[in-house]
Chain A
Amino acid sequence: MKEKKSIWTILLAIIVVGILALAMFTFTVEESTNAIVYTFGAVREDGVKNEPGLYFRWPVGIQRIVTVDTKERILKVPGNEPVTTKDQNPFYLSLSISWKVSDAGLFIRRLTNDEGLTIEENAQRFLQDKVRGARQRTVNQFNLSDIFSDSKEQPKEYKKFVNTLLTQVRQETEQSDYGIVVDNLFITRIAFPQTNSKAIFDSMIKERELRSEKNITDGKNEAAQIINRANLQKQNLISQAMADSRRIKGQGDAAAAEFYKAFRENPQLANFLRRLDTLEEILKKKATVTLPSKNPLDGLIENPPIMKK
């Protein structure tokens, strides 16, 4: 029983030692990762492992393994300082670039530093410098009015601008030989300095004010025209009615004239009777009559009618 127990103990010890030995004498390179093997501080010819898998190594003290992620990374380059176009327009251009490590050994070697920065931080600092420089130089070659316009040529110009910028960044990065390759470039934000933005805001505001004033003026004009037309229509209507009423009255007078032929039989009598009616009518309204003391009633009416025989 004791022997069985000691066999198990030995087996367990072998397993544990085996696992620990495996851990000490092997390392794994992950997919999309490169590993640099430093043997006594130096990198040998076969010291860069680009393919993923399990590899043999000597323990710590003899060999040191440094891994480098070779996946695409995004670096943001904010537009903190304005760049000026060919047509003298300053603006802030924020970019992002996608980059990756193309040569892990070179990457580590060139970007290890004594300034307390990690290799990645140093790489980002280096790329930021390159992008800023390329940005300024490229923007100087283009007019803002070509990049931002509603012309048919605009898409081509925009593409040309981006491609030129990307080419510039790539060239500078490759020239510096840091084991980095820039794959793509993205424009993420464009902003104007505050003064310029304000000028654009002001022009938008003014344009809108002009538009609204025009609308109101158009409205007033249209209203006045409607009123004018209405007045014309009214006057036409009244005038027509006045003409019609004249005509109708004339018809009435004409009809009356036919009947007044009867007065021709004794015009004097007709006159006399008419004057009586008129005097009666006049005296109805608040009249004061002064009469002579002698024959007060005489002389009130002259020319009595004569009987026509």
Chain B
Amino acid sequence: MNGFNPEAADTKRAETTAGTGIFLHLVCAVVLLIMSFSAEGLLYSILWIQCGAGLLFFLASYLHLRFRRLAVTEQLDRESLERKRKSQGLGSLFSADDVPPAKRNLQHFNRFFAPALSIIYALILLLPAIELFYGLIKMGTPLKEFFFSNLPRAVGFHMGVIPLIIAFVLFILGAYSSGLCRVAHWRPIRAGAGYALSSAAVLGLVGICVLLSSKIGFYPERIIILLTVIGMSLLALEIIANVVLDHYRPRLPDIEQRPAYDSRLSGILAEPQGVFKTFAHTLDYQFGFSVSDTWFFRFIERAFAPLILVVIVSFYLLSSFVLVRPGQAAIIERFGKPRFFYTGAEKDWETFAAKHPPLSEGLHFKWPWPIEKSKIINRTRLSLITLGFGTANEEQARQKAEELRTKLAQWDKQHIEDENLYLMPLPSVMQTGSATQNQRENYVFISGSFTVEFAINNNADVYRYAYSCRDPQLMMRAIAENEITKFLAGADFWKVMANQTEQTRLTLVKNISDAVKENKLGVEVVNVGINNFHPPAGEVGAGFLKVITSQQDKKIEVYGGEIKATTIIGMAPSQAGALTTDAEIYKFRREQVSAAEADWFKNQLTAFGAAPEIYPVLKRMQMLEKALSAPRKIILPESATMIMDDSKAADPDSINSILAREINKLNK
């Protein structure tokens, strides 16, 4: 590059632009600094430094342009003077070795001042990174946790608008400056141009994220901080690398080098056509022919920016479409209030909903955001709250209910943690005698889990649901718990637990529905499910089980008695029968035998009559023959006596001993 092109003297425009850049960056940095005092978090503290650094780049550009202009002007003046003196036949005033002052200043700027400035700029750009990471390391916060945790808050609208305005201003400045730097002798302004455009990009991103934060529900502040700090650090490292490389790069005489602070990274933004040129050359090389000369490539090159704009606008216009799914309804809000609802009107949702019902399922159109916004409400989809466990967190309650459904829940064991105990009055059947002096014994506990299903069924309720309560689920839970507690406070324990569960359920449905209507929640109770009424699990539950067991034991005792009774009675008829049968046999025998005996006697009588003297003897002998054949016979002498001990049985040995004794007596 020939830095002493006469045209290079004309740098006023570039200098003015650089001066404007200094001023604008200063103003923007001050505004961001003021915002950082009211904003929470680190982002605006980093942004004002980032914006303020742009001031320095434009300052360097300004100085570079000024020194060059002065050097060129000086050279032109010298040459003019030399020509004049030569025409007058005078000698040269200057020697060949003389370096004019302005040129020397320029050389000093290029050789010393620019690198020094570059180092200073790099350090300034590294400051936020050093401060941030040092602070995190000191606090001991893991980096991943710090940068990727979302912040739940939405940020004020103006906190997004102001960065967008600054971004716009810097974009205009950067775009103008980058246009200027296409002219060779204005190229020093490229450093500021690139930096202004990169600042515009960062601030534009911040503005868009802030404005969208209320819509998307979180604000990725820390991610933006991370990206900004990384970008600034990369820039700083590139500048330092440039300083080092420039030191070793051979310098060609009369060719001005690119200053180290003139970043090639930010130059991508300043000279985007340079990116395209590089891309085109690469394509040509790869494909082996001039792809970059085709009409399609040239069209893309020309239309790239407008195409991006069209895409952005298209995405924005997508906010004009509202898709309402089955079971949902949508309310369109125009500048904050429901569409067609005029300010000052009384909030009679019934009348309003009759005229302007919410949008039903399907695709609908509206003005784009932020003119009109849509609010989607789950309408006929059933919502569910689960109660009876000691937690207000619906997710946890459902997990416990699910756990209870899948496991075998026994009354005598604690089957789930934190089951609610509802207080009830002691039923009369459980009162043991006269009123107890200990009043605590006048109450009982009962456990149970419930599900309440509700939905929004009519159009007016859609509006009511959307605008009456901040957290309808929480309100629903409070209402349901209240009604359950109230009902059980006066209910009969046994009717609730055993006899009238369905009636209890219906009563609760009615009570909760009435309470919901009274509180204008905008929902309708579809069903109340009572999943499990039982006495407190554990020892109390075991006591209840014991009563059921005792009822079985009672039956067992009764059955045992009946079995014994059956056994007792069972044999009696047979015993009685045996007695009467014996009697019958006796009677029969007596009748028959006595008849036979009578007939036999008549015959004996006849025989006796025939031989009265012989008959008795015959009969006697017949009997003796028969009867004495078997028994043992002992014949004793007349003088022998036989004394028998009646207490002893007449066994042969005792008889023998008696006989032997008697015989001995006789022999003596």
Task: Encode B29-66 as 1/0 by CB contact (under 8 A) with A.
Answer: 00000100000000000000000000000000000000
Most chain A CB atoms below 10 A, which of B432, B544, B547, B642: B547
With beta carbons under 8 angstroms apart, the residue of B344, B470, B588 that contacts A73 is: B470
B467, A32: Cβ atoms under 8 Å? yes
Question: A60 — nearest CB in chain B belongs to which residue?
Answer: B158
A33, B336: Cβ atoms under 8 Å? yes
B297 in the interface, Cβ–Cβ < 8 Å? no
Name the A residues within 8 Å of B289 (CB-CB): none
Residues of A56-112 whose CB lies within 8 A of B: 59-61, 65, 69, 71-74, 76, 87-89, 91, 96, 98
Cα–Cα distance between A128 and B445 once the two chains are bound (Å): 28
Name the B residues within 8 Å of A238 (CB-CB): 572, 575-576, 579
B423, A190: Cβ atoms under 8 Å? yes
Residues of A234-261 whose CB lies within 8 A of B: 234, 237-238, 240-242, 244-249, 251-253, 255-261
A219, B558: Cβ atoms under 8 Å? yes
A289, B441: Cβ atoms under 8 Å? no
A11 in the interface, Cβ–Cβ < 8 Å? no
Cα–Cα distance between A279 and B626 once the two chains are bound (Å): 11
B590, A255: Cβ atoms under 8 Å? yes
Which of A38-46, A134-142, A167-175, A202-210 makes up part of the contact surface?
A202-210
Cα–Cα distance between A184 and B547 once the two chains are bound (Å): 43
Name the A residues within 8 Å of B428 (CB-CB): 150
B560 in the interface, Cβ–Cβ < 8 Å? yes
Name the A residues within 8 Å of B430 (CB-CB): 204, 207
Report, as a range, how many residues of chain B touch the other chain.
Answer: 35 or more
Cα–Cα distance between A91 and B445 once the two chains are bound (Å): 13
B475, A230: Cβ atoms under 8 Å? no
Residues of B288-337 whose CB lies within 8 A of A: 333, 335-337
B490, A205: Cβ atoms under 8 Å? no
Name the B residues within 8 Å of A261 (CB-CB): 598
A289, B628: Cβ atoms under 8 Å? yes
Name the B residues within 8 Å of A60 (CB-CB): 158, 162
Name the B residues within 8 Å of A197 (CB-CB): 421, 445
A125 in the interface, Cβ–Cβ < 8 Å? no
A188, B478: Cβ atoms under 8 Å? yes
B344, A211: Cβ atoms under 8 Å? no
A259, B598: Cβ atoms under 8 Å? yes
**Given A20-B164, A71-B470, CB of A188 within 8 Å of CB of B485:** yes
Cα–Cα distance between A211 and B573 once the two chains are bound (Å): 40
B648 in the interface, Cβ–Cβ < 8 Å? no
A208, B482: Cβ atoms under 8 Å? no
Question: A235 — nearest CB in chain B belongs to which residue?
Answer: B572
A237, B336: Cβ atoms under 8 Å? no
Cα–Cα distance between A297 and B569 once the two chains are bound (Å): 58
A158, B568: Cβ atoms under 8 Å? no
B655 in the interface, Cβ–Cβ < 8 Å? yes
B624, A230: Cβ atoms under 8 Å? no
A237 CB → nearest B CB, Å: 4
Question: A269 — nearest CB in chain B belongs to which residue?
Answer: B608
B161 in the interface, Cβ–Cβ < 8 Å? yes
Question: B624 — nearest CB in chain A belongs to which residue?
Answer: A297
**Given A199-B440, A270-B601, CB of A283 within 8 Å of CB of B482:** no
A154, B626: Cβ atoms under 8 Å? no
A121 CB → nearest B CB, Å: 13
With beta carbons under 8 angstroms apart, the residue of A73, A201, A231, A240 that contacts B536 is: A201
Name the A residues within 8 Å of B420 (CB-CB): 189
B471, A74: Cβ atoms under 8 Å? yes
A163 in the interface, Cβ–Cβ < 8 Å? no
**Given A189-B481, A237-B576, A273-B601, CB of A290 within 8 Å of CB of B635:** yes
B340 in the interface, Cβ–Cβ < 8 Å? no
B332 CB → nearest A CB, Å: 12
B550 in the interface, Cβ–Cβ < 8 Å? yes
B482, A186: Cβ atoms under 8 Å? yes
Name the A residues within 8 Å of B601 (CB-CB): 262-263, 269-270, 273
A234, B442: Cβ atoms under 8 Å? no
A276 CB → nearest B CB, Å: 5
A116 in the interface, Cβ–Cβ < 8 Å? no
With beta carbons under 8 angstroms apart, the residue of A98, A145, A158, A215 that contacts B439 is: A145
Cα–Cα distance between A230 and B572 once the two chains are bound (Å): 10
Name the A residues within 8 Å of B598 (CB-CB): 259-263
A229, B482: Cβ atoms under 8 Å? no
Cα–Cα distance between A183 and B336 once the two chains are bound (Å): 25
**Given A276-B620, A280-B623, CB of A223 within 8 Å of CB of B561:** yes
With beta carbons under 8 angstroms apart, the residue of B550, B555, B560, B590 that contacts A211 is: B550
Residues of B129-167 whose CB lies within 8 A of A: 156-158, 161-162, 164-165
Can you list 16 residue pairs at the A/B interface with Cβ under 8 Å?
A20-B161, A53-B335, A65-B156, A96-B474, A96-B482, A145-B439, A186-B479, A203-B441, A205-B540, A210-B432, A216-B557, A259-B597, A272-B616, A288-B633, A289-B634, A293-B637
List the interface of chain B (C-beta within 8 A of A). Answer: 34, 156-158, 161-162, 164-165, 168, 172, 333, 335-338, 341, 343-344, 370, 392, 420-425, 427-428, 430, 432, 436, 438-445, 466-471, 474-475, 478-479, 481-482, 485-486, 489-492, 519, 535-536, 538-540, 542-544, 546-547, 549-551, 553-558, 560-562, 564-566, 568-569, 571-573, 575-580, 582-584, 586-591, 593-595, 597-598, 601-602, 604-605, 608-609, 612, 615-617, 619-620, 623-624, 626-628, 630-638, 642, 650, 652, 655
| With A24-B161, A216-B554 already in contact, 6 other A-B pairs whose C-beta atoms are closer than 8 Å | A88-B439, A145-B439, A154-B490, A158-B490, A200-B440, A229-B565
